[in-house]
Amino acid sequence: MVTRSADSGLQHRWRLPYLWDLLRSLVDRDMKLTYKRSVLGVAWTLINPLLQLLVFAFVFQIVLPVKIPQYASYVFAGLLSWNWFQTALYQATGVIISSRSLIRQPRFPVAILPIVTVTTGLIHFMLALPILIAFLLIDGIQLTPVILFLPILQLLQFAFTVSCAYFLAALNVTFRDTQHTLGVILQLFFYLTPIFYDLKAIPKEYWYIYALNPMVHIVTSYRQILMWGVPPDWMAIAIIAGFTAILWPLGYWLFKRQSHRFVEEL
Amino acid sequence: MRHAITVSNLSKGFKRYHTGKPTTFMEAMLSGLRQMQPIEQFWALQDVSFNVAPGEMLGIIGHNGAGKSTLLQLIGGVGYPDKGKIQVRGRVGALLDLGAGFHGDLTGRENVLVTAIVAGLTESEVKQRFDSIVEFAELKQFIDSPVRTYSTGMQMRLAFSVAVHTCPKVLLVDEFLSVGDLSFQAKCLQRIAELKEKGCAIVLISHSAEQIQELCDRALWLRQGQVVAYGEPEVVAGQYISEMRSQTQQRTPNRPAQLTDSGAELRINENRFGSLEMEITNVKLLPLDTIESGESLCVEIEYNAPQAIKSPIFSIAISQEDGQTCLDINTLDMQVPMTIVQGKGNLKLQIERLDLKQGNYFVDVGIYEKDWAYAYDFHWHTYLLTVNSSYSNKGILAPPMRWEINTLPVLRDLSMIN
């Protein structure tokens, strides 16, 4: 029998097959809970971005026309990526508060909680992907092999979102309005990310500030590989990856500390 | 012997914050982060050491806030000790807030799957044990209905069943035995005994000294994070109970003797004990304080609580003059719902028949703090009850009874012949 001290006591929960089962069952539960009581069920995943697309198409093609070729594909690619980021980050921020009974379970690997939320978002993204491909084909876009970089981009966005979520969820324990504030900030950042307008419209003197938003590059990279058939901007991707590599362990440590503090003090 | 749990010199500190500590960004900005600093640190647990061997059951006793739950959480790996060490061998199961992890919209089946995996089983292990989990919970017909249609009892049965089917080597139990219906409790206790026999180490939290005495092999008494006593349950529980009595004496304020409305004299620390945060203003024995054996008796307690008191326990005992207790009951054990009590009021215990032998009895009445921590007001040997009977009796009971004598018919026949 192995002796475990307090510090290494969590080890037996770190068997990969177990964690995989845990992740799957929690994601499965999230999916079921989201759609259990709605008539349309999982179709909402598709209807929501389609309705958004419809509004943007109306406003920016008919009311205030902007000159972006293949506008439907352009907007839809942006929306899928952004919606994943926004929804997952927002939900994951409240995850410590809403998972009290899970965190109290002996040796529950708390760090999995934001990963569950972001994975659920990824599944919605994947479900909507065929619609995006359909738009691309209707818009007459030729799919090229660079589309195979898609998993790399998704992995990057996944890791970036989880890292941010660790910090924000930890902060939400101390300041309970973090989630609320985040909702407002995300709405602002929606406009500071090239979802429905052209990146080239950003004047050069603002670019250096504008480009600090990692989502600008992530959204653009999706379009590069899906629509324009060019490899993504590796430089930007490397910077975001490096940034995430520093952020993740820090956020992870903070998240674990705060989630234990949260259940201890109530 | 290899211990399943070894806790050595464990200390855990918490920071106490200003009551006005901002809880939102906006407040933090306005107060300029000044109040974010902790104002003091206190030890929730201090230098706690004990072992639990496989197959052993340790009871942890103490008042609310003594650090019992913190200790249980630390053993379960939630949070980190500030000093000292905790070693736990094998899978840890927990019976903490049973059923809290369930989602009402999911079916019993779906909930079992998630809960069991969360408790540490892999998916294939859950599938193997699924039928036996459902069978133990006696929920076969309902397993595919949403959990929101379950009664609380059903949810607890299911949660308990999942927890014990993870085959833990260490089981942490937080005061659950006081909830649920009796047959469920009995079943749980039996299951826990089975686990114990198989070598599972169990830690049980309770504030009931009797429960600890009854179930545990060892007991640990915590007061303000420190171990007061550790050892044989009888000894520890006995010490705990006598401490509670002296606590009550210490808390009893000085006050001149006073009379109740019906004329009984109350003298502090002689026949009256308690903090007097809540007072018994009068006790009436109805219809009279002299009854015939087998008649009904009503004990009416009039009380006054100047401040709101949460869930006090009312207790009534009838004892003989030599101290032999004939009846000792309270509102907590009889599950009389008590909420917050404030102001004046009264409470009656209606005894349908009192089948006591003839003699003089004392009716002792008390009001206690919701965890039995100390008495608010306890009147001891103040109210006299006299029971009359047409015959004398050397025991305690005098139930309705009669002799039946069957005369032998043979004798009668013989006399007829004569």
| Boundaries of every domain in chain B | 5-242, 256-388
Q: How far apart are CA B52 and CA A74, in angstroms?
A: 64
Which of A12, A21, A32 comes nearest B117 by C-beta? A21
Q: What is the tens place of the pLDDT at every residue in B167-182?
A: 888 999 887 655 556 7
Q: For the structural domain made of B5-242, what CATH number should be given?
A: 3.40.50.300
Contact residues, chain A, for B169 at CB < 8 Å: none
B201 phi and psi angles, rounded to 5 deg: -85, 135
In sequence order, what E strands does B62-199 have? 83-88, 92-95, 170-174
The pLDDT of residue A255:
92
Q: Does B73 contact A12 at a Cβ distance shorter than 8 Å? A: no
At A137 the pLDDT is: 92
Tokens for B137, please give them: 């919970």
Judge if ipTM > 0.90: no
* Fold annotation for B256-388: Coagulation Factor XIII; Chain A, domain 1 (2.70.50)
What residues 43-72 of chain B have any CB closer than 8 A to a CB of chain A?
A: 70
Angstrom distance (rounded) from CA B393 to CA A73:
99
- Is the Cβ–Cβ distance between B378 and B364 less than 8 Å? yes
- Interface check for B23 against chain A (CB to CB < 8 A): the answer is yes
Express each pLDDT in A128-145 by its tens digit.
999 999 999 998 888 889
Q: What stretches in chain A show pLDDT beneath 70?
A: 1-14, 37, 265-266
Residue ranges of chain B with per-residue pLDDT less than 50: 418
Contacts of A116 in chain B (CB under 8 A): none
Concatenate the DSSP letters of all residues of B240-297 into one string: HHHHHHHHHHHHPPP---EE-TT--EE-BTTTEES--SSEEEEEEEES-SEEETT--E
What single-letter amino acid sits at B397? L
User: Side-chain half-sphere of B36: how many Cα atoms within 13 Å?
Assistant: 13
- Chain-chain contact of B76 with A176 (C-beta, under 8 angstroms): no
For residue B177, the model assigns a pLDDT of 59
DSSP class of B397: B
**How many cross-chain Cβ pairs, A to B, lie less than 8 Å apart?**
115
Given this chain, do its domains B5-242 and B256-388 carry the same CATH topology?
A: no
| Per-residue tokens: A215 | 């989502």
- pLDDT for res B176: 62
Chain B partners within 8 Å of A93 (Cβ): none
Q: What is the pTM for the complete model shown?
A: 0.72
B119 to chain A: nearest residue by CA? A105
| CB spacing of A32 vs B94 below 8 angstroms | no
